[in-house]
Amino acid sequence: MGKALEFTDDSFEQDVINAEDDKPVLVDFWAEWCGPCKMVGPVVEELASEYEGKAKIGKVDVDSNPETSTKYGIRSIPSLLIFKNGEVVDQIVGAVPKSQLKKQLDAQLTN
């Protein structure tokens, strides 16, 4: 069963930007104190399991990893970025339904 990965300032380049295949990477920027993040968190975990082998799914704690959060202009959390081939190809800000996250992630699977 898949589990969302933990990305850090140190690992982000290797795990996300230089990901070895052309699978999309969904990154959830979150913080422990963020109420809406707690709503999105379990959904991200479900997606990690459902998309295992098709996409890479992970999280970045913005408090512990300010460098990555700043680099991608994260001002509101939760913010979810979808990367493909090292580039941001889609962005979701705020707590959104699982169906919307799946729709945007599926769009990148077919590209």
> One digit per residue, pLDDT tens: the chain, 111 residues?
579 999 999 999 999 999 877 899 999 999 999 999 999 999 999 999 999 999 999 999 999 999 999 999 999 999 999 999 999 999 999 999 999 999 999 999 977
Q: How far is 30 from 19, CA to CA, in rounded Å? A: 21
Q: Are 90 and 107 in contact (CB under 8 A)?
A: yes
Work out how many domains the chain is built from and give that number.
1
* Domain range enclosing 47: 5-103
CB neighbour list of residue 38: distance below 8 Å, 6 or more residues apart: none
76 within some domain: yes
Beta bridge partners of 81: 27, 91
Q: Is the peptide bond before 66 cis (omega within 30 degrees of 0)?
A: no
80 within some domain: yes
Active-site residue list:
34, 37
- The one-letter code for the residue type at 73 is G
Residue 51 burial (CB count, 10 A): 19
